[in-house]
Amino acid sequence: MNVLVWMKRDLRVADHPALTHAARLGRVLPLYILEPDYWRLPDTSARQWDFTAESLEGLRAELAALGVTLALRSGDAVDVLERMCRRHAITRIVSHEETGNLWTFARDRRVAAWARATGVEWTEVPQSGVLRPLASRDGWQARRDGFMAAPVLPVPQMQPVEGVEPGPIPSARAIRLAEDRCPHRQRGGRAEGLRLLDSFLTTRGEPYRAAMSSPLTGERACSRLSPHIALGTLSLREVVQATTARQAERPPGWGGSLSSFQSRLAWRDHFMQKLEDQPDIETRCLSRLAEGLRPRETDSARLQAWASGQTGLPFVDACMRYLAATGWLNFRMRAMVMAVASYQLWLDWRATGPILARLFTDYEPGIHWPQVQMQSGVTGINTPRIYNPVKQGLDQDPTGAFTRRWLPELASVPDSFLQQPWLWPGFRNLSGRRYPEPVVDPASAARAARDAVWSLRREVGAGQEAGRIAARHASRSPRRAALPRRAQAQLSLDL
């Protein structure tokens, strides 16, 4: 029997349940489908494709070493699968369950309908702690932990389907993606992911718990594994078990950091399960009362200023410029830039969320959309956290090194005025390119936002709705013990 393995966000051969299952059934044909319509979506970008293409190159080399060809085809998934099944006499398709955005959810439903109509058997296999279907969260944590504790699957021995043309792995320009300069983007591929995992667990990760909040220290102290987990060059189970093995060594000074990292890995599956259970949280507020909180017609000037790092709020602008250049941002700063957009700038999360999604090389819908809603105060169950960007700059960049690096136009501003340069007497006489005055007064804008959010929550029925949402989501979340209290309230799974 010839079996097609449809590879999506699982670009590896080790600990690959779908590939292992297919190898037991017959000859294997691994396939990646480049779907042009997906790459035209507002939450996808060239930096994400570049990382994916590098990961595909690595995967192709790994499979070639095993005597198996990775096929890459471009087009609509149903059309491509139909052609491949007809050409290579395939009646079985195996893939991992995917918790993606609404577009991939709809695509998978179309593929399922096609498979039923044509008699092709499509088997979807779990690859993480996300469970499908899930009638109740009761027992979810134990089942997730059981999956993570199960043995890591070895690379399977495979017999290839003969006569498969590999097909080229095109560049972002070749598939006509918009130019997306990201000079400091992380590189894709399993080899790079393994290198990061090793360096994090042996050297870089010791100060993780204390260092992850600042963009200065988080760049090195964070694992930087998030894009590799999102694209599946590493399995989450591999990362969990490697961390567990390191914990067993009891390295002096590492206990808190390793425990915090394990908790974040568990929280990752928790948020992924939220999107699996409720796919429309990409487009609808978890709290129905919050739908009218902000105007749906976007203030385009504010949106552009925020996206380009020109709000006049230095630490926010430095973080947005850093993100544009690197494709990554540490957890607290992700929360801050989203919260400032939603509160001080009063922009709807459905306008800002796709912009951040495009900028994140590690974009994972199941993490992104629950976090975007949480930081915008529209869940009905989380206490609104309105960041003070001036205070964050003073706390997280006390020397101004990060801010000055990404805002060179403020190089001459004294330290005491750097996070509020509009108060400096010499602000209007800055040499070179002018830095904008703030688009809003951050203090008064925060007060207005706080008043609006709490006014909404005091409306008749708000309390009952919060209880309903909390009963559905919050009471069955994973263990919190290893997370700092503030991190529990503002979690952002950049790892």
127-158 tens-digit pLDDT:
999 999 888 888 899 999 999 999 999 999 99
Q: Which domains does the chain have, with CATH numbers?
A: 2-127 (3.40.50.620), 190-277 (1.25.40.80), 281-478 (1.10.579.10)
pLDDT digits (tens, 9 = 90+) for 32-75: 999 999 999 999 999 999 999 999 999 999 999 999 999 999 99
Per-residue confidence at 455, pLDDT binned at 50, 70, 90? confident
The arithmetic mean of pLDDT across residues 202-222, rounded, is 97
Whether 469 shows a pLDDT value over 70: the answer reads: no
Annotated binding site for FAD, which residues? Answer: 208, 261
Question: What's the pLDDT band for 428 if we cut at 50, 70, 90?
Answer: confident
**pLDDT at site 490:** 40
Phi, psi of 5 (to 5 degrees): -105, 110
Q: What percent of the chain has pLDDT over 90?
A: 86
Q: Convert the pLDDT of each residue in 279-317 to its tens digit.
A: 999 999 999 889 999 999 999 999 999 999 999 999 999
Tell whether the model's pLDDT for residue 477 goes beyond 80. Answer: no
Segment 158-163 shows an average pLDDT of 97
User: Distance between CA atoms of 97 and 95, rounded to whole angstroms?
Assistant: 7
Per-residue model confidence (pLDDT) at position 434: 87
How many other CB atoms sit within 10 Å of the CB of residue 164?
18
Average pLDDT, integer, range 178-204: 98
pLDDT score for 463: 52
Asked if residue 482 has pLDDT above 70, the reply is no
- Over 90: is that where the pLDDT of 124 sits? yes
Q: Which residues are annotated as a binding site?
A: 208, 261
Sheet holding 71-74, edge to edge: 71-74, 27-34, 2-7, 90-96, 121-125
User: What number is the average pLDDT over the span 81-92?
Assistant: 98
Average pLDDT of the residues in 235-252: 98
Q: Above 50 in pLDDT, residue 79?
A: yes
pLDDT number for residue 432: 66
How many whole angstroms separate alpha carbon 37 and alpha carbon 44? Answer: 10
pLDDT of residue 383: 79
Map residue 29 onto helix, strand or coil: strand
Question: For residue 330, is pLDDT > 50?
Answer: yes
Residue 486 above 80 pLDDT?
Answer: no
Contact 389, 420 (CB under 8 A): no
Q: pLDDT confidence of 495, banded at 50, 70, 90? A: confident
- pLDDT of 215 above 90: yes
Residue 138: Cβ within 10 Å count: 11
Give the range among 76-80, 187-191, 424-428 with minimum mean pLDDT.
424-428
Q: What is the chain's mean pLDDT, rounded?
A: 92
Above 80 in pLDDT, residue 15? yes
pLDDT in tens, 372-411: 999 999 998 877 899 999 999 999 999 999 999 999 999 9
pLDDT at 479: 38
Backbone angles phi, psi at 34, to 5 degrees: -85, 110
Mean pLDDT of 360-371: 96
Contact 164, 69 (CB under 8 A): yes
Contacts of 38 (CB under 8 A, 6+ apart): 44, 103, 104, 107
Q: Is the pLDDT of residue 328 over 90?
A: yes
Q: How confident is the model at residue 457 (pLDDT cuts 50, 70, 90)?
A: confident
Contacts of 292 (CB under 8 A, 6+ apart): none
Q: How much is the pLDDT for 459?
A: 73
Average pLDDT over residues 442-463: 83
